[in-house]
Amino acid sequence: MIELSQVAVRRDGRLLFSGVNLQLHQGQTIGLAGNNGTGKSTLFATLLGEHGTDVGSVSMPKNWQIAHMAQEVHASDMTALDYVLSGDDEWYRLNDKIQNQSALSEHDIAPIYQRFDEIDGYRTPSKASQILSGLGFGEHEHTRMVREFSGGWRMRLNLARTLMHRADVLLLDEPTNHLDLDAILWLEDWLGKFSGLIIVISHDQAFMDTICTHIAHIEHGTITLYTGNYSQFIRTRAERLAQQAQAYERQQAVKAHLENFIRRFGAKATKAKQAQSRAKQLASMTDIAPVMADSEFSFAFYPPTALSSPLISLDNASIGYDKPLINKVNLQITPDTRLGVLGANGAGKSTLIKALVGDLPLLSGTHRASDNLMLGYFNQHQMDALDESATPLILLRRLAGTTSDADLRAFLGSFNFRGDKIDTPCRLFSGGEKARLTLALIVWERPNVLVLDEPTNHLDLSMRNALMLALQNFEGALILVSHDRDLVMNVCDNLMLVADGRADEFTGDMADYAEHLRQARLAKVAQNKAENKETKADTTTSVSDKPTPTKEEIRKKNAENRQKTAPLRKEIEKLEKELDKLTSELGEIEHALSDQSLYDDDNKDKLLNLFAKQSEWQKQVADIEENLLLKMDELETLENALS
């Protein structure tokens, strides 16, 4: 258990939070929520011992190990596989000694091999390869040097290295930022099997909903721990704020009544005692804070000045650079188009977008754009192309002509560029601030076609929600590439899948696409197993060359196999019992929820409690079912290997 007791922390002289009392346990996955600058990263630094507390203490078991996902990866001549393996410190040390036995005495060798076997060291390279593959690295990339990868892929290597750590606590800071949806789904599955404590900072609500059991919300200088995932936190917090607002209004009414009595009768001798009594009552009141809205953003896209149909069209287009990456693309963008573009990294999503907006000439086929086209195009390059020496006000002034400074400042304020920020050069901005500014400049130009390529990579949750609401009300065409499932589900009417050299309509929803990716991953694993079996069959002695085993040898081998598979069978039996118990309890809850009297106002607390239990147990059932399937597959694999 990690315990924070009366903790107060300052950074650069500013108090971030105080009076914090928390107990964090193994098995929990805690999402850190709060606006930028509230202290999420500083809390990580405090847990790591890199930033001290001003008041209070942080304690945890001495033998606990913490794995922290760093935000930078330096160029290295290590291979990707070796870099990831170095995350398991103990394995790396033991393996180095085994590889250099000449420096060891005979007395040292046996304990090293014993410990190597205890930590399952012979299978550790296989585990590292599985993590790399899960995060999107092809097998041929496992032997590439770290320095050969781009910044985004190095961040994936950093995440893989963190996951390899033999840790009790995982601290993950924006782990999904550089991942496509396939890798995010794999990561969700992997974290679901981790038995230690996970604390994660993420702006991906769907990811937080899937993995989190609790949310620690930093707000107004304190940290509140909520049970449930992010969506449950939003609901619970909204109810608490509504109650707080009502309590605040009631208290203000009582205060106004007391103050009015004191003012009217304080000077009258006959009422002096009552006035003094009310003055004491007023002084002894504990003030209830008013509810403060914490969203920093509120903006909308202006209506386009002109619309025509189609705005952009691709006819029988062949798209690529030296050779086609996508063939036979037929696509019409009309004012009603709201299209989400799906596909794995490298499949050609961004290449398709570049061809659509006219940045990449077609290899063959036809590209047409309307004379009325007003394109708003957001991608990483647009952010990088911002004039580093210019301020937000200067950049907007270049587009705005004679619009008054007051109007420009009000507009930039809706994107949270206020005070000194409005006159700060872009070179001093974070990635999130540059993304917001790029969006602001696009909004100002009143586009009739919005093409957004991963617009949320650097945005926090409040800005993502503001963008989602603005896009829902946008009156032009929208083409979106994003791994943010909530954003795609809430703003897109149609989906297109880029895969295997084609760009075709995807007829399902995002849940169907997630299942499509899972099935594709399972098929790939099965194919690799089949190929490995074929390789093994080619290199082993044929059955006809082996002597026929006796009945006693067969009996002895079967007994040995049962002993080897017994632990897995016990785990499966235990999971099946847990599943039966939870399924029965869920049935009781569903029966209780069928009682109509439960929905009366007097039973609100009981109803909410039942809903919370139902949600929690449904998640547990899903986790157990998935774990059960994995264990059964593991047992089948082991039995096949032993046969």
Residue 100 tokens read as 């250099």
pLDDT score, position 98: 82
Mean pLDDT throughout 333-353?
A: 91
First to last CA, the chain: 43
**Cα radius of gyration (the chain):** 30
Q: Which residues contact 132 (CB under 8 A, 6 or more apart)?
A: 80, 81, 84, 141, 142, 160
Among 510, 496, 507, 501, which residue's Cα sits nearest to residue 331? 496
Mean pLDDT throughout 497-519?
A: 88
Cα–Cα dist 459/462, whole Å: 8
Burial of residue 225 (CB within 10 Å: 0-12, 13-18, 19+) is: middle
Cα–Cα dist 536/528, whole Å: 12
Cα–Cα dist 212/205, whole Å: 10
Least confident of 217-221, 269-273, 631-635: 269-273
pLDDT score, position 498: 93
Residue 126 tokens read as 């296989």
Q: Is residue 516 part of a domain?
A: no
In this structure, the answer to whether residues 356 and 481 fall within a common structural domain is yes
Cα–Cα dist 205/262, whole Å: 51
In 3-state terms, the chain is what percent helix, strand and coil (to 5)? 55, 20, 30
Q: Which residues contact 443 (CB under 8 A, 6 or more apart)?
A: 299, 301, 302, 376, 470
Half-sphere exposure of 165 (CA within 13 A, CB side): 22
Q: Is residue 88 part of a domain?
A: yes
User: pLDDT tens digit string along 382-398?
Assistant: 888 899 999 999 999 99
Secondary structure of residue 398 in the 3-state scheme: helix
E-state strands within 321-387: 324-333, 338-342, 364-369, 375-378
| Residue 291 pLDDT grade (very low, low, confident, very high; cuts 50, 70, 90) | very low
Q: Which residues contact 607 (CB under 8 A, 6 or more apart)?
A: 593, 598, 599
What are the residue ranges of helices labelled H in 100-192?
106-118, 124-134, 151-164, 181-192
Query: Residue 604's domain is classified under what CATH number?
Result: 1.10.287
| Residue 549 pLDDT grade (very low, low, confident, very high; cuts 50, 70, 90) | low
pLDDT score, position 480: 95
In this structure, the answer to whether residues 376 and 487 fall within a common structural domain is yes
**Residues counted in the chain:** 643
Half-sphere exposure of 476 (CA within 13 A, CB side): 28
215 pLDDT exceeds 90? yes
| Residue 293 pLDDT grade (very low, low, confident, very high; cuts 50, 70, 90) | very low
In this structure, the answer to whether residues 400 and 488 fall within a common structural domain is yes
Mean pLDDT throughout 476-497?
A: 92
In this structure, the answer to whether residues 446 and 484 fall within a common structural domain is yes
Which domain does 482 fall in, by range? 312-507
In this structure, the answer to whether residues 242 and 101 fall within a common structural domain is no
Q: Pick the residue with more confidence: 410 or 561?
A: 410
- Count the domains in the chain: 4
Q: Is residue 43 part of a domain?
A: no
Residue 323 tokens read as 């050779």
User: pLDDT tens digit string along 102-136?
Assistant: 777 777 777 888 888 888 888 888 899 999 989 98
User: pLDDT tens digit string along 402-438?
Assistant: 899 999 999 998 888 888 889 999 998 888 889 889 9
In this structure, the answer to whether residues 328 and 427 fall within a common structural domain is yes
In this structure, the answer to whether residues 484 and 613 fall within a common structural domain is no
Q: Is residue 591 part of a domain?
A: yes
In this structure, the answer to whether residues 581 and 469 fall within a common structural domain is no
**How many CB atoms are closer than 10 A to CB 97?**
16
Burial of residue 5 (CB within 10 Å: 0-12, 13-18, 19+) is: middle
In this structure, the answer to whether residues 340 and 280 fall within a common structural domain is no
**How many CB atoms are closer than 10 A to CB 528?**
12
Of 140, 159, 178, which closes a domain?
159
| Residue 334 pLDDT grade (very low, low, confident, very high; cuts 50, 70, 90) | very high
Q: Is residue 632 part of a domain?
A: yes
Query: Which DSSP symbol is given to 448?
Result: S
In this structure, the answer to whether residues 481 and 555 fall within a common structural domain is no
| Residue 537 pLDDT grade (very low, low, confident, very high; cuts 50, 70, 90) | low
| Residue 140 pLDDT grade (very low, low, confident, very high; cuts 50, 70, 90) | confident
Q: Is residue 150 part of a domain?
A: yes
Of 159, 179, 207, which closes a domain?
159
Cα distances from 610 to residues 588, 598, 615, in angstroms, run 10, 10, 9
Among 382, 329, 378, which residue's Cα sits nearest to residue 355? 329
pLDDT score, position 542: 47
Q: What is the chain's mean pLDDT, rounded? A: 83
In this structure, the answer to whether residues 450 and 558 fall within a common structural domain is no
The torsion angle over the Cα atoms of residues 433, 482, 39 and 386, rounded to 10 degrees, is: -10
Q: Is residue 125 part of a domain?
A: yes
Among 456, 457, 389, 393, which residue's Cα sits nearest to residue 421? 393
Cα–Cα dist 434/425, whole Å: 11
In this structure, the answer to whether residues 274 and 326 fall within a common structural domain is no
Of 123, 139, 159, which closes a domain?
159
Query: Residue 376's domain is classified under what CATH number?
Result: 3.40.50.300
8 A C-beta contact, residue 341 and residue 498? yes
Q: Pick the residue with more confidence: 268 or 520?
A: 520
Q: Is residue 622 part of a domain?
A: yes
Residue 167 tokens read as 């840790």
Please state the pTM of the whole predicted model: 0.69
Burial of residue 61 (CB within 10 Å: 0-12, 13-18, 19+) is: exposed
296 pLDDT exceeds 60? no
For residue 310, say if its preceding peptide bond is cis, omega within 30 degrees of 0: yes
Q: Residue 21 phi/psi, 5° resolution? A: -125, 115
